[in-house]
Amino acid sequence: MQSPTIPPSMLSALRRVMRPLVRLMLRKGVTFPMFADLLKEVFVDVAHREFRLDGTVPTDSRISLLTGVHRKDVRRLRSEEGESLAALPENITLGAQLVNMWTTGKPFCSEPGQALPLPRLASVGGDLSFDALVAKVSTDIRGRVVLDEWLRLGIVRLDEHDCVHLEAQAFVPQKGFDEKAAYFGHNLHDHACAAVHNLSGDGQPFFERSVHYDALSPASVDHLRAAVEKDGMQVLLAFSRLASGLEEVDVPSAEQRQRITVGLYFYTETTDPDLSKTSDP
C-alpha cells in the first residue's frame, strides 16, 4: 500500500501545536521516551475505536499498518486495560453544578452572575446558607466537606462572620494541580476535537473563531485582558444560564444525550520580530 502524501502544512501545524505541550512536559519531568510510550497507546486506541471497516473491529495487523506501531506492541496494548477518556472527576462536576446554581438560581444570587455571601451553616442561614446550597445539588455529601475542599482550591473564602464568599463566577480552581490538569485535558481535548472536525470538512462545522493582533503595547494588552475577563465571563455565564434552562426541561433518552463545551480564552506573548517584518507593508 502506498502511503498518502502528507501536506507539509499539516506537519507544520502539528509542530506548532506540540510546542506548548512539550514545554509543559519538560517542566513536569515527562521525557520523550515516556511520551512516546503514551502516544503509542493513543495511536492504537484511536485506531481500534474509530477506524473500523463496516463496524468490524480491526485486526492487530491492520492497526499496525494504520499506525506504524509494531504488531507485538499492538497486541500487548490491546490486551492491557487502557485508560479511557473519562468525564471530569466527580468533585469537579459537582463543583460546577454548585457554582452554576449559586450564580444563577434564587435565592443564592441577587441577579444572574452576582452570587451572594452565604452563612456557612443551615442553623444560621436556613435555606439561604452554604449547607442549603450543597443540599440542593447533593444529599450525599456534607457542606463542610465541600467547603474544606473549595477553601483548598481557592474557589471560596470564609469571612470573619462565618459567611462563604464565591471567589470566581465559574468553577475554576486557583490551586490544586490535579484539578487544573483535569480541566486542561477536558478543555484542550474538546477544542482540538472541534478544530479537527472543521479541518476534516465533514458535516456542519463547529463554531471556532478568534481575533489576532501583533502590534499592541503592554498597556493595551492589559486593557484587553481586563475586558475579556469581564465581558467574556458574562458571555459564558449567559450561555451557562441558557444551557441550564434547556437541560431542566430536556428529557432525552440515553442514546440521545449529548454534552457541550463552550470556551473562551486569552493569550499574549512578545511578537516575534521576524514574523512582524513579513507582515509589514
4 and 78 together in one domain: yes
How many other C-beta atoms can be found within 10 angstroms of the C-beta atom of residue 63? 25
Residue 194 lies in a domain: no
Where among 64, 84, 104 does a domain terminate?
A: 84
Q: For residue range 138-190, what is the model confidence (pLDDT) as tens digits?
A: 888 889 999 998 888 788 999 999 999 998 766 666 666 777 888 888 899 99
Where does a domain end: 148, 166, 184? 166
Mean pLDDT computed over 258-270: 93
Which is more confident, 84 or 15? 15
Whether 188 maps to a domain, the answer reads no
CB 104 within 8 A of CB 241: yes
Q: With cut-offs at 50, 70 and 90, classify the pLDDT of residue 85.
A: low
| Residue 180 lies inside a defined structural domain of this protein | no
What average pLDDT does this structure show over 17-40?
93
pLDDT at 244 over 90: no
Residue ending a domain, among 84, 114, 146, is: 84
What pLDDT, on a 0 to 100 scale, did the predictor assign at position 18?
95
Question: Same domain, yes or no, for 111 and 67?
Answer: no
Structural domain for 160, as ranges: 90-166
What residue type is 231 in one-letter code? D
Evaluate whether residue 252 is within a structural domain.
Answer: yes
Number of C-alpha atoms within 13 angstroms, CB side, residue 150? 27
pLDDT at residue 171 in the model: 62
Q: Match 507582515 to its residue by C-alpha cell.
A: 279
Instruction: Give tens-digit pLDDT for 60-71.
Output: 999 999 999 999
Give the pLDDT score at 39: 94
Q: What is the pLDDT of residue 1?
A: 45
Average pLDDT, the chain: 86
The more confidently predicted of residues 244 and 257 is 257
With 50 as the cut, is the pLDDT of residue 278 above it?
no
Cα-based angle 104, 100, 159 (whole degrees, multiple of 5): 90
- pLDDT at residue 170, as a whole number: 62
- pLDDT tops 80 at residue 276: no
pLDDT number for residue 238: 85
Q: Is the pLDDT assigned to residue 57 strictly greater than 80?
A: yes
* % of the chain surpassing 90 pLDDT: 54
User: Given this model, what pLDDT does residue 169 score?
Assistant: 62
Q: What is the pLDDT of residue 41?
A: 93
Rounded distance between C-alpha atoms, residue 17 and residue 24, angstroms: 12
Same domain, 1 and 74: yes
In a domain, 174, yes or no: no
What is the reported pLDDT for 99? 85
What is the mean pLDDT of the segment spanning 237-255? 88
The single-letter code of the amino acid at 126 is: G
Spatial CB neighbours of 173, under 8 Å, sequence gap ≥ 6: 153, 154, 155, 179, 180, 183
- Cα separation, 23 vs 224, in Å, equals 26
Shared domain check, 20 and 71: yes
Indicate if 2 and 78 belong to the same structural domain: yes
pLDDT at 173: 65
Q: Which residues pair with 165 in a beta bridge?
A: 157
> Has residue 13 been placed in a domain?
yes
Tell me, what's the pLDDT at 281? 37
Q: Are residues 77 and 1 in the same domain?
A: yes
The model's pTM is: 0.72
List, as one string, the DSSP characters of the chain: -PPPPPPHHHHHHHHHHHHHHHHHHHHTT--HHHHHHHHHHHHHHHHHHH--BTTBPPPHHHHHHHH---HHHHHHHHHS-----PPSPHHHHHHHHHHHHHHHSTTSEEETTEEPPEES-HHHHTTSSHHHHHHHH-SSS-HHHHHHHHHHHTSEEE-TTSEEEES-SS---SS-HHHHHHHHHHHHHHHHHHHHHHHHT-SSPPP------S---HHHHHHHHHHIIIIIHHHHHHHHHHHHHHHHH----TTT-------------PPPHHHHHHH--
What is the model's pLDDT at position 110? Answer: 83
- Do residue 146 and residue 75 come from a single domain? no
Looking at the fold, whether 162 and 237 belong to one and the same domain comes out as no
Q: Quick check: 92 pLDDT over 80?
A: no
The C-alpha atoms of residue 118 and residue 126 are separated, in whole angstroms, by 10
Q: Which amino acid is at 44?
A: V
In a domain, residue 104? The reply is yes
Domain count for the chain = 3
Provide the pLDDT for residue 2: 45
Q: Above 70 in pLDDT, residue 91?
A: no
Quick check: 7 and 15 in contact, CB under 8 A?
Answer: no
